[in-house]
Structure formats: structure tokens, C-alpha cells
Amino acid sequence: MSRLPRQSEFVEQRHDFSCGELSSRFRFRSGATTATVDVLTLCSRSLPTVVLQEVRVRVDQPCRLVVTAKLDPTGITGRWRSRETSTPGAAEPVVDGSMLWEVNGALSTCGAAYITRFDGGEGVERRREEHDQLAPLSTSYSVDARPERSYVLQQLTSLVPSQSHHEPDRQAARLVGMAARRGFQKLRVENRGAWEEIWKGRIKLIGAGARWQSLSDAAYYYLHASAHSSSLFSTSMFGLAYWPNYHYYRGHVMWDIEAFTFPTLLLTAPESAYALLEYRAQRLTAAERNAALHGYRGLQFPWASGPRHGEEVIRLSAPHLVFEQHVSLSVARAFAQYVHATGDDDYLREKAWPVLEGVANWLVSRAIKTDRGYELKEVIGIAEQTDPVDNNAYMNMAASVVLREAAGFARRLNRADAQRWDRMADAIHVPIDNTRGYIRNHDRYSAEERGPAASTPEALAGIFPMDYPVEPQLERATIDFYLGRAGEYVGRPMLSALLGVYAARAGDRAESLRWFERGYADFIEDPFMETNEFSLKRFPDKPRVGPFMANLGGFLMSCLYGLTGLVLSAAEPAAW
């Protein structure tokens, strides 16, 4: 369609969230002949490196029909390292072709291999591009087509990164060969079965109406489509989507994942949640080195973690972001929540404890003891102020929560640090405006401040989703203060989707709905209800980029935890 737009006509496209299948239909005209083309595409959840595509063609009069399947790296920066159309040691090729692609800078490679099947009756001619070593891999089928039948091309492709195998092109050939033996239809059935299991955790919004249920279902789909139990690299800001026109986010793993994506997956797809944490567990050395580079002990997870080594990769053009260190608290709490949800003592000892102990030790070395208690100075919070602040409310509240979690698990494992961490948790300074009785975002925060940073409800994020315990009067005053200025903030990423929870905690159902409209529904883009990073109603000049995991994860978390009051703990689930 892109090569010959004047001869092509788009008809329709459907994205079936129940099973992850994308169905597209278009018409192609050549001379007096019109071909109607139906394309079915899906990613296998049972063989997670494999993509399946079926192209079904019908023509309205006899013609010579040519259908071509390709593996085409055109437009992807990098270079060919290998291109094969034969199979070593085999008289006949096992796959149609395989390739090894190296990215710019030679940081990694990616292997791909594909197999095709064509159902076209008698007289089919098959041709592969075997000689041009820089041409896309391709397989073409030609046949004298008739109107009374369909012509079906099935293509199976495996994509393997070098982080998963040192010869990714060879492994891709093995995996796509396995896929071909199992067959297109079996893989499709398996994929539907996997999605059926996922949808058993569907969040049902009783009484909210069909529109809100649809928004929830779309968010639920994008969340689960972007995470898998076999993932070695967690997931990213836009899940599996990639926006080449965007300024950064190139597969980075940031606090968004543990803070907003993980909580819903923990209760609806715990195997995927496990994989997100495994990314962190396998890169503790990078977190330990990062803490040491900043002059601290323990574990300090990088603000933007690069999947290759887990090291800091934040862009150099924003040097102040190295002060944004609250990511470690989100990571540690996610490990604690996993133990609470599963009750898995082996996981606690082997996986969670090293993280919780490491982050607790980092806090001990990071905090400063003063007359006000323990203070965390020179940090940047969720609002991402240009200049660091002292005692950011969200970070200090989260630090207290994590220390209490670490202390509780220390007792469970008969470790010696419990009392020390509990005392520190009790003494962490949280700034409060004594005149108006609300939690201030940081030490120098003033109610007279204006602008996006001043209107960011960082202190409220300490109440939810971090669950820092606050006296009812102080909580209500803090909610009233920040919701009173949230009109200047709403439409921005991260906390907008949570605003409806705060209004609900204050007992105002109408305001809760209004904030959910502005803080989440206004972020949604048709036709497939993906969630933007910014509300384009509020910020029409922002690029359309989604699905943004923090926003959709925040909304699902608001429904599952925030509106229900669900707080995971070491108690039995009935007491949560």
C-alpha cells in the first residue's frame, strides 16, 4: 500500500483484544483486476520469539498473481552481518532464509529467520532471492489465479536478540523450524488459550458503564501484551511500541515499570510480574556499582537502566536527572509486594532479601541524621524540578515504607537489622506545613508557587500508591490542597491517572469521576484506545506516543488497588 498508494484502498482494520490478533483488509487494483487482501497478524505467546502472519487473497477475474513474503531491514539503522538462504549441513534449506543484523555501534545483534507456506492449487511457481547479499530476504509465489478460490500465504518468523543467544540467527532458524512443525493453526489456538487465561483476571468495573469498561479492557490488553514470563528485559515506557520520532526512551527500564506496571501484573499475571523483577535481580552488580559511584553503600538502581548491562543510560543533555533516585524505592517495594502476594519464602531468601537489604543499606548511607530526624537531601522527585530539593515528600515517605518492609522481612529471616531500620523509618523527616496542615512536596515548597512542578501532587503519591500511613486529618488536608491546584497539573504523565483515587478517598464521587475523565480518559486515542504520554486535549502540540505504560498502569492500579483500598501485606489475603 505504501509503494503504490494510488492502486491501494484501505478497507478496515480490527484489533481483537481477546486474543491479540490484528486483522487488516485492503484492495489492490492492477489494470482491470481487483484483489481483496485479508491479513491476519499475531505474536505467539507459546513460542514468544515467533510472529505469525497469514495473507489471504481473492481476485475478481483471472490474472497472474504474485504474492511475496519478506524479511526487510530497510530503514533500520545498522548493517548486515550474515544473510543465508541455505542451511549448513542440509541438502535442502530448512528455512526460507535467515539474517544477522548488527545495530550501529555494534552493541548488539539480532537474528531473524522465516518459513513460508502457500496454498494456491496447481501450477504454483516459487522463487527466493538467493544471490543479492544486501537485498531483503524474500520468497515469492506466482500462480494463475481464478476468482472462485482464495490464495493463502502463511509466514512464520522468529526474532532473537544476541542477549538471548550468542548466535541469534541460528537460534531463530531453530525456533521458526519448531514453529513450522507445530503448525500455524496450532500456534494460533495456543495463543488464544494463553489470552483466555490472561483475561480471567479482567478488572470488572461494576456500575461504571460500557465506555469505562472498554477503557479498562484496552489498558489491560496493552499491559499484558507488553509483558511476558519469558522476557529477559522487563518492558519499556511504551511497552513493545517504538516511536522513532521521540526524543528518547530506547528500551530503557525506569521506575515507571515497578511503580505503575508491576502492581496489576502481580495479581493478574504473576509469571510476567516475576520476569519484570528478574530483570532487576540479574543486574544487582550494576546497582551496587552505581551506589558506589555516588559514594553510597548498598544498591542504587539507575534512573534509566540499559537492558544490556543494567547500567545508567540517561541522556547526557539532562544531567540533573542523576539526582532522581527514588527508583530504588519502587524496585524494593515491588520485591516486597511479590513476597506478600505469593507467600514464597524461597523467593524471599534468594531474590527479594538481597534487594531489600541492599536498598535499606543504601538509605542508611544516604540519609543524614539531624535534629529533625533522618533527612534525604539533594534529590529530584516526580516533578523533576531543575534543581535538587531536600526531603522530597514522596521519596521520604517511600523510604520509610521500604525500611519497614525490610525490617519485617529481617525478622522473618532472623536477621539483625530489623530494629535499626524500624527506628530509622519512624524518624524519617516528612515536611509538613504547620499553618495549613498539609504535607509539603519538599522543604522549600511554598503554597504560593505555581507551575507544573509546584502542582505535581508528589506528597499524594506517598499516600497512594506507596501506602505511607497518614493520620486522617493530615491526609484530607493534603488531598484538598493538591487537588485544589491539580487543574494546572492534569494532562501530564505519571500521576494524572491517580487523581480520581484521591478524590474518592476524600469521599467525593463526582469529583473522582471528573478527575478520571481528565486524568485518564482524555489521554486515549482512537481507534484502538491506546494511552498517550500526555493528554492531547490539554497539550495538542505534544507527539502522539503510546501506549504509555505509566498512565495505563496507573489507571488499572487505581481501579484494582486505589478504589478498593487493597494493600498487600504479610497478613493473610483476607486481611488485605
Give 229-270 as a DSSP string: TT-SS---TTTT---TTSSS-SS-B-HHIIIIIHHHHHHH-H
Percentage of the residues of the chain whose pLDDT score is greater than 70: 99
Cell of 334: 515491588
Q: How far apart are CA 479 and CA 477, in angstroms?
A: 5
Q: Which domains are delineated in the chain?
A: 5-168 (2.70.98.40), 202-575 (1.50.10.10)
Nearest CA to 237 out of 221, 225, 226 is that of 226
Q: How far apart are CA 51 and CA 48, in angstroms?
A: 8
Can you give the pLDDT at residue 1? 65
Number of H helices, E strands in the chain: 18, 17
Give every CB contact of residue 165 below 8 A, 6+ residues apart in sequence: 111, 171
Query: pLDDT tens digits for 287-339?
Result: 999 999 999 999 999 999 998 899 998 888 778 888 999 999 999 999 999 99
Can you give the pLDDT at residue 252? 86
Can you give the pTM of this predicted structure?
0.95
Query: pLDDT tens digits for 421-467?
Result: 999 999 999 999 999 999 999 999 999 888 999 999 999 999 999 99
Query: pLDDT tens digits for 349-387?
Result: 999 999 999 999 999 999 999 999 999 999 999 998 889
Nearest CA to 215 out of 511, 517, 499, 521 is that of 521
Q: How many residues comprise the chain?
A: 576
State the average pLDDT over residues 122-138.
90
Can you give the pLDDT at residue 60? 96
Q: How far apart are CA 172 and CA 165, in angstroms?
A: 9
**What CA–CA distances, in Å, run from 526 to 15, 376, 383, 545, 556?**
12, 43, 29, 13, 19
Q: How far apart are CA 145 and CA 123, in angstroms?
A: 10
Is the separation of the CB atoms in 297 and 369 below 8 Å?
A: no
* pLDDT at residue 240 greater than cutoff 90: no
Cell 489492490, located at residue: 28
What DSSP character marks residue 104?
G
Nearest CA to 402 out of 282, 299, 262 is that of 299
- Give the 3-state DSSP-derived string for 114-153, with helices as H, strands as E and coil as C: EEEEEECCCCCEEEECCCCCCCCEEEEEEEEECCCCCEEE
